[in-house]
């Protein structure tokens, strides 16, 4: 039986730095990150999960207790620790790359990949689950439009830019692998 192209594993090619995925909520950073890490034979980590472990509470509670600035400070420290641990694939929260210090650290020590998607794709994806603090009690389309306008100039500073659509995430992973080669 012939193997399918999306089942192929590649070595990490001697990557000496982490690959950090940035982009809007709902773009697929975590799912794409897991697939990409498997292809590159690297560890995958989701910075939001690591923040929750470090804080001992869910992100929604961190936002409630410390506000967005307190969350962003903890996020920066956790991402710094993850980067210092050595090469891996890191999926970041949608606002991580907006923070000047976090962005500077990622740009200096990692390969950054902006995963971009059309607004309709994002709205569809984020509407499936109700766990995002910035969307609670708000219209997802309006919030995503406003966030995109603010964040896109920062995302454009990433080393690599790929588009995700409503198709399989493996297609986006392949785009990233081609750009890394």
Q: Per the annotation, where are the binding residues for ATP?
A: 26-31, 132
Residues 104, 171: Cα–Cα separation, whole Å: 29
The conformation of residue 4, written as its DSSP 8-state character, comes to P
What's the first-to-final CA gap in the chain, in angstroms? 27
Crossing angle of helices 29-40 and 169-180, in 10° steps, is 50
| 151-172 exposure pattern, b = at least 16 Cβ within 10 A, e = fewer | beebbeebebebebeeeebbeb
Which residues are known binding-site members for Mg(2+)?
Answer: 30
| Helix segments in the chain, DSSP class H | 29-40, 47-55, 59-84, 100-109, 119-126, 140-155, 169-180
Which residues are known binding-site members?
Answer: 26-31, 48, 72, 94, 132, 151
Which residues are known binding-site members for substrate?
Answer: 48, 72, 94, 151
């Amino acid at each position: 039986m012939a193997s399918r192209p999306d089942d192929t594993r590649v070595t990490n090619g001697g990557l000496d730095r982490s690959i950090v995925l940035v982009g809007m909520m709902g773009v697929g950073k975590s799912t794409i990150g897991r697939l990409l890490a498997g292809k590159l034979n690297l560890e995958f980590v989701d910075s939001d999960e690591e923040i929750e472990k470090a804080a001992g509470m869910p992100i929604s509670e961190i936002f409630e207790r410390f506000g967005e600035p307190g969350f962003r400070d903890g996020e920066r420290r956790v991402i710094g620790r993850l980067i210092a641990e050595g090469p891996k694939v890191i999926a970041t929260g949608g606002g991580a790359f907006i923070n000047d210090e976090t962005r500077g650290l990622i740009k200096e020590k990692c390969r950054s990949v902006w995963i971009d998607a059309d607004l309709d794709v994002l709205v569809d994806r984020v509407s499936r689950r109700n766990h995002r603090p910035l969307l609670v009690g708000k219209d997802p389309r309006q919030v995503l439009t406003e966030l995109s306008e603010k964040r896109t100039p920062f995302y454009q500073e990433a080393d690599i830019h790929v588009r995700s659509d409503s198709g399989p995430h493996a297609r986006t992973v392949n785009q990233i692998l081609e750009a890394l080669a």
